[in-house]
Amino acid sequence: MEHKGTVRLETERLVLRRLAPEDAEAVYRNWASDGEVTRYLTWQPHESAEVSAAFIRRMMEECEAPSAYNWGIELKALGQVIGSISVVHGEEDIGALELGWALGRAWWGRGIMPEAAERVLKFLFEEVGANRIAARHDVDNPKSGRVMQKLGMRHEGTLRASARNNRGIVDMEVYAILRKDFEEAAL
């Protein structure tokens, strides 16, 4: 893979970009403080905008590495970040990456996450040279699975008691798409 880091990407409604210190209040208010958003995630809701600011500082440090991909999802009409999408795991030797995401509850069901993730897939396949992109979700969070299905990802199975999130030890559904499948769907 030819890593390029967290570069700015756009769609019709969204700007995918690095988080910045001035995003702390929006990160906190729009999704990171909401226990309903973090229910199926591995991190606790942020207790303050200061916690969100520390989170942003960590993301900024990580993004110094060309192999790190952490985008804030900015809704153009609002001019604020409303979620995030990141590469949470990679296996360089086989060109495999895994995505994770979070979106503010006020924007659920509007096609925002599929729009953001589709743009990220395009970038990772076409510009970075990934061969496989996967994502997984808690079996009790089927809405995240529907995003994966909309992206053309194939269900690969259920991993029993394979992860810990804010609900405890949980079963995970695994989805993935290969570059050849993505290219065929684009034709």
DSSP state of 152: T
pTM of the predicted structure, to 2 decimals: 0.95
Q: Is pLDDT at 187 greater than 70 in this prediction?
A: no
> What number of CA atoms fall less than 13 Å from residue 152's CA on the CB side?
18
Strand partners, 159: 172
What percentage of the chain reaches a pLDDT higher than 70?
A: 99
Average pLDDT score, the chain = 96
Task: Provide CB contacts within 8 A for 111, sequence distance 6+.
Answer: none
For residue range 63-118, list pLDDT tens digits in order: 999 999 999 999 999 999 999 999 999 999 999 999 999 999 999 999 999 999 99
For residue range 83-98, list pLDDT tens digits in order: 999 999 999 999 999 9
DSSP state of 46: P
Q: Which domains occur in the chain, in start order?
A: 9-186 (3.40.630.30)
- Identify residue 104 by its one-letter amino acid code: G
Alpha-helix runs per DSSP H in the chain: 24-27, 35-38, 49-62, 112-123, 142-150, 179-186
C-alpha–C-alpha distance, residues 68 and 84, integer Å: 14
Q: What pLDDT shows up at residue 185?
A: 87
For residue range 23-66, list pLDDT tens digits in order: 999 999 999 999 999 999 999 999 999 999 999 999 999 999 99
